[in-house]
Amino acid sequence: MTDSTTESRTEPSTTRVAVYFDFDNIVISRYDQVHGRNTFQRDKAKGLDKERLRQATVDLSAIMDFASSFGTLVLTRAYADWSADVNASYHGQLVARAVDLVQLFPATVYGKNGADIRLAVDAVEDMFRLPDLTHAVIVGGDSDYIALAQRCKRLGRYVVGIGIAGASSQSLAAACDEFVTYDALPGISPIPTAPQLKKRRRRATAAELDEEPAQPDPQAAATGLLERALRMAQEKDDADWLHNSVVKAQMKRMDPSFSEKSLGFKSFSDFLRSRNDLVDLDESSTTRLVRLKSDADS
């Protein structure tokens, strides 16, 4: 059997994942984490500054990539008032990852927008309606989701929580099978210091003067995707060497448009060989293995 024929078959996925975003929770918590406790509500009262919002942007792709490491994403929903500018600015990221946007009414005088209630009701309904769901990923650190996490576990699902450090309930973390802070996700940089924020602002202002945004290089994008997929899979499996098919399947879950043939390679192994400055290959047997080069080898 040829190399390309063997690699065209990906291992069947036995895990199916549902992802639920409490969007306001994650966006506001990240803003407060970057700029200081309770600053979002104070800044909102006087008008949110676009640059401060940009500095606290949530990388939704990093969250989705992490969720995809558990299996195939079959359902993704984000709950928010999408007429609000702070939420509407994420439309591009969300549409690119095929996230279903659930519209909520603006917050009432009691300060609740109903995201936790609607999300919980929908999630439990999904667990009964879609019995093949194996994982539920809750993006939001609100303690109101403790009961939801416990219910999903009783229904036999593996529950993963993702929240912002310092704004997530410890009790919720305990109620999940696994809880990860946003800052610990692969690809997320440490919170910038004040001088770094000023430098970013200068760069952003200069970039706004450019008429034509630079188009991403497909080869560089594929290399970045490979590195993220390897780091994700290695953290999940706690192993250095991974089967080529496992790595390719993870890359496809993270970016369904990935194709080594569209990049000019006959097989996935050829694609990996072209990245020998990034990865090591073990082709000593019919089972091809790959791993990231260590920093010492780079």
Q: What is the pLDDT of residue 133?
A: 95
Which pLDDT score is estimated for 201?
55
In a domain, 2, yes or no: no
Report which DSSP code applies to 99: P
Predicted confidence pLDDT, tens digits, the chain (298 residues): 444 444 433 344 589 999 999 999 999 999 999 999 889 999 998 888 999 999 999 999 999 999 998 999 999 999 999 988 899 999 988 988 899 999 987 655 444 557 788 999 999 999 999 999 999 999 998 899 999 999 999 999 999 999 998 888 888 988 999 898 898 888 887 776 555 555 555 554 544 444 444 557 889 989 999 999 998 888 777 778 999 988 998 888 888 778 888 888 999 999 999 999 999 999 887 888 999 987 545 5
| Last residue of one domain, picked from the residues 208, 234, 269 | 208
Q: Domain total for the chain?
A: 2
In-domain check, residue 11:
no
- The CATH number linked to 81 is 3.40.50.1010
Per-residue pLDDT reduced to its tens digit, 86-127: 999 999 889 888 999 999 876 554 445 577 889 999 999 999
Q: Is residue 176 part of a domain?
A: yes
**Joined tokens for residue 253:** 């879950």
If asked whether residues 80 and 161 sit together in one domain, one would say: yes
3-class DSSP state of 186: coil
Tokens of 36: 């200081």
Q: Is residue 110 part of a domain?
A: yes
Task: Please state, rounded to an integer, the average pLDDT across all residues of the chain.
Answer: 83
- Would you state the structure tokens that stand for residue 200, as one six-digit string? 């970013």
- How far apart, in Å, are the Cα atoms of 120 and each of 82, 84, 116, 117, 161? 19, 22, 6, 5, 13
Determine, yes or no, domain membership for 1. Answer: no
Which residues, in sequence order, are bridge partners of residue 79?
A: 22, 102
54 and 105 in a single domain? The answer is yes
Q: Residue 57: give the domain boundaries.
A: 16-208
Same domain, 82 and 39: yes
pLDDT given for residue 124 in this prediction? 95
DSSP 20: E
Whether residues 195 and 55 share a domain: the answer is: yes
Cα→Cα distances 195→57, 200, 280, Å:
18, 9, 38
Same domain assignment for residues 243 and 200: no
- Does residue 235 share a domain with residue 163? no
* Nearest residue to 241 via CA among 196, 292, 179, 176: 292
Claim to verify: residue 109 and residue 243 sit in the same structural domain: no
Q: Are residues 182 and 227 in the same domain?
A: no
User: Nearest-5° angle of CA 209, CA 215, CA 219?
Assistant: 145
In a domain, 80, yes or no: yes
Residue 45 is assigned to a structural domain of this protein: yes
Q: Do 61 and 198 fall into the same domain?
A: yes
Residue 184: predicted pLDDT: 83
22-47 exposure pattern, b = at least 16 Cβ within 10 A, e = fewer: bbbbbbbbbbbbbbeeebbeebeeee
**Residues 222, 176: one domain?**
no
Do 252 and 272 have their domain in common? Answer: yes
Domain co-membership, 197 together with 265: no
CATH number at residue 265: 3.30.420.610
Report d(CA 76, CA 41) in Å as an integer.
28
